[in-house]
Structure 1
Amino acid sequence: MNYDRILIRYGELSLKGKNRKLFIDKLKKNIKRVLRDFENIQIEASRERMFILLNGNDGSEIVNRLKSIFGIQSFSPAVKVEKDLEKMKETALALFQKNYKPGQTFKITTKRSDKNFFMRTNEINHTFGSHLLQNVEGLKVNVKNPDVNLLIEVRHEAAYMTCETIQGAGGLPIGSSGKAMLMLSGGIDSPVAGYLSMKRGLNIEAVHFYSPPFTSERSKQKVIDLTEKLAQISGGVTLHIVPFTEIQQLIQQTIPENYSMTTTRRLMLRITDEIRKKRDGLAIITGESLGQVASQTLESMYAINDVTNTPIIRPLITMDKTEIIDIACDIDTFDISNRPYEDCCTVFVPSSPKTKPRRDKVRHFESNTDYEPLIARAVENVEKIRIKPQSSKQELFEDLF
């Protein structure tokens, strides 16, 4: 007995009420994109469930890809069967025998959404449990911790059976919450912030500040590789690489050293905000964790935020470094982030940065220099790269993308 489809459970999407269809449609679109190279599969979506009809495709590879798609609470390779008791018994036994090994225990779990079905939930459990016990020698029941759990869903159109429940990524479908710009350094934190933002349904574009010759091509490639890891989750990410050398050199010349990091962050935020406007984004994402470094004290954030009214999303704000590293390892960005190629923030970091900068002071220091032409030039000369998953080839493209 081979599985003929994959049953997808929505989880959090089930709470969306009148907007549920919008979220389900977005999830269906994301699944189609991730599985686009599988021929003949069909995706059927209803208010309660989604089904991927395998039509002869390899279900194991599809299962691996589904694990990283946000918006899926759990899923199961399943078999569809008519709501005929004898056919259901026959299918249940064949499916169970395929998954059972001698000496294992089992239980039956039934979900009966079709309340008109002639048997109640407990009756179904008892009937199918008895059928398996009569036909599988040495089989024993364990309702608390079974080796094999045969799940039976009785729905209006048919019954579905499975012996596997695979945990999904949870969250919301990417793109269901709008677009935001991720300030992506080469460090550990910002890729994790991007990942967690995508989990809440945000479609992200990345912004990286690049200062040659002080930062090398290898540091740029490091960020491209990090972006590719995020693209494997979302299906594709646009990376904006901002030429920042001229601005950083001017900051070193015109701003007191202990305030130079504050001004650097403020100008980065201003440039990111300009790119956001051009790309129709609604927010900016950073990898800041409260108190982790000098620029991430509450006073620093207050002074830096002064340059924009755009919402700043900080998914890591209450996490410690160990928690962040654990997630970075899970999403396979940690080793890339640890490559010894510095970004512009680490190259130009002052020896004693101000941990409690005053907003009025940084405004005063910046008022002596006209940064507007440099900001405009940096935005104009941004290099845009479309990075696709599992691809060594990046595509340069125009603004109409």
Structure 2
Amino acid sequence: MIWKEILIRYGELSTKGKNKMDFIRRLRENIRYSTADLGHLTIRTEHDRMFIALDNEEMKDELVNRLKHVFGIQSFSPVAACEKDIEVIKQLAKDVMKQYEDETYTFKVEVKRTDKKFPLESHAIQRVIGATVLSTYQNLKVQMRKPQIEMRIEVRMDAVYIMAQVIQGAGGMPIGSNGRSVLMLSGGIDSPVAGYLMMKRGVRLDAVHFFSPPYTSDNSLEKVKDLAKELTKFGAKVRLHVIPFTEIQLQIKEDVPENMSMTATRRMMLRAVDKVREDINALAIVTGESLGQVASQTLDSLTAINDVTNTPILRPLIAYDKLDIINIAEKIGTYETSIRPYEDCCTIFTPANPKTKPKVEKVVHYEERTNYKELIERAVTNREVYVYSEKKKAEDKFADLL
């Protein structure tokens, strides 16, 4: 096998200051988490890049597929290696470029010669390797500015290393580097995308789902469980808290006029989620709300709903169009699960003409008819918790944030 390692570029992590190594260690742990079933990885870290040693071709292919989803990686490249003999280097260059033989590409060769004792200087190596590749693959053309392929050759003290493929990573920050929050996971298109975007910024997530049997089916719950599992592929486990909500919804239906019931329902959900947040020492609540998308997401409605808590509410989709959200859902693989035709507890009691400008004092007036605090505490206490992709706990430099 020609491949020796995978080189990982940090991107945004490179801008960090004195705590940069903590972010890098978090990224390394997340990579190990995402590849735990592949066995122990040999990972070497440097100031602005990381290297994963390769044992075989199958390992390379599997790592390429998984590293694309790990937040904190800007890009990465498979790296081939050979001895420091020009004829061997020429052959390796041809082997590396073979993957591009079927289409027309522009390319150039860049050389970094750390070993100054190597007999050929950098420009000479460029000319020799460039000529070799051009004569072997007639479909390639030299272009010095912004080529489609940049073959990079490093002559190090121990060997010569060649890379040509640059694979885009997920970007963002390593999950767990920016605290823990609670995601309100409904089962629709929006909330998994909101979770994805917050994970991309380094937030570790617990998810909360409200389940109202017999009005919502086991199929709807399975859909939400599958969405929670989907989110684990980005490098961290997800705990799903399923809160029984039937009793509260039926009480709201009895106490609150129909056109204000959705506002009251969302307020009770937020109070319940906030209690879960306190129980697990999370810092914020994440929702998939997009301004004006539905009646409960107008600015007036959001203000009335927010009134029940002082906890920060993170809404990463607040300015997104629906089509933009769908595009992200398709990209991350949650869309097909989200559109399964099973209703959640928000849709089964949706009023025909919900208020778009609810008044807080009126909602509070109707809520005072029942001791909802007691109902919420009972529901939260009776919740079921599912853990997906659980991993043995490691020492955590960011534990004080979680």
Counterpart of 2:381? 380
Q: Does the CA-based 8 Å contact 1:300-1:355 persist in structure 2?
A: yes
Q: Which amino acid aligns with 1:351?
A: A
Q: Which moved more, 1:369-378 or 1:225-234?
A: 225-234
Q: CA 1:357–1:110 in structure 2 vs 1: closer, same or farther (change >3 Å)?
A: farther
Equivalents in 2 of 1:209, 1:78: separation in Å?
Answer: 48
Task: State yes or no: 1:363 paired with 2:364.
Answer: yes
**Post-superposition CA distance 1:76-111 (Å, at most 9, x none):** 0013568xxxx1745642332012439865301356
Task: State yes or no: 1:261 paired with 2:262.
Answer: yes
User: SS state of the match for residue 18, structure 2?
Assistant: helix
1:308-347 aligned at under 5 Å gives the runs: 308-347=309-348
**Post-superposition CA distance 1:26-65 (Å, at most 9, x none):** 0000001111122353111122211000133620111101
Shift of 1:117: 5.8
Q: Does the CA-based 8 Å contact 1:173-1:199 persist in structure 2?
A: yes
Q: Which moved more, 1:176-185 or 1:232-241?
A: 232-241
Q: Does the CA-based 8 Å contact 1:70-1:169 persist in structure 2?
A: yes
Q: Which amino acid aligns with 2:51?
A: F
Counterpart of 2:128? 131
Equivalents in 1 of 2:162, 2:203: separation in Å?
Answer: 34
Gaps of 5+ in 2: 391-402
Gaps of 5+ in 1: 390-401
Equivalents in 1 of 2:313, 2:88: separation in Å?
Answer: 53
1:267-282 aligned at under 5 Å gives the runs: 267-282=268-283
User: SS state of the match for residue 242, structure 1?
Assistant: strand
Equivalents in 1 of 2:272, 2:238: separation in Å?
Answer: 19
1:185-334 aligned at under 5 Å gives the runs: 185-334=186-335
Equivalents in 2 of 1:378, 1:13: separation in Å?
Answer: 41
User: SS state of the match for residue 31, structure 2?
Assistant: helix
Counterpart of 1:59? 60
Counterpart of 2:398? none
Counterpart of 1:47? 47
Q: Which moved more, 1:365-374 or 1:240-249?
A: 365-374
Q: Normalising by structure 2, report the TM-score.
A: 0.88
Q: CA 1:234–1:348 in structure 2 vs 1: closer, same or farther (change >3 Å)?
A: farther
Q: Which amino acid aligns with 1:38?
A: L
Provide the aligned length of Structure 1 versus Structure 2: 379
User: SS state of the match for residue 249, structure 1?
Assistant: helix
User: SS state of the match for residue 346, structure 1?
Assistant: helix
Shift of 1:236: 2.2
Equivalents in 2 of 1:78, 1:45: separation in Å?
Answer: 15
Task: State yes or no: 1:3 paired with 2:18.
Answer: no
Q: Does the CA-based 8 Å contact 1:96-1:163 persist in structure 2?
A: no
Counterpart of 2:110? 109
Q: Does the CA-based 8 Å contact 1:26-1:176 persist in structure 2?
A: yes
Q: Which amino acid aligns with 1:54?
A: L
Q: Normalising by structure 1, report the TM-score.
A: 0.88
Counterpart of 2:93? 96
Q: CA 1:133–1:202 in structure 2 vs 1: closer, same or farther (change >3 Å)?
A: closer
C-alpha RMSD over aligned residues: 2.4
Equivalents in 2 of 1:210, 1:88: separation in Å?
Answer: 66
Q: Does the CA-based 8 Å contact 2:93-2:162 persist in structure 1?
A: no
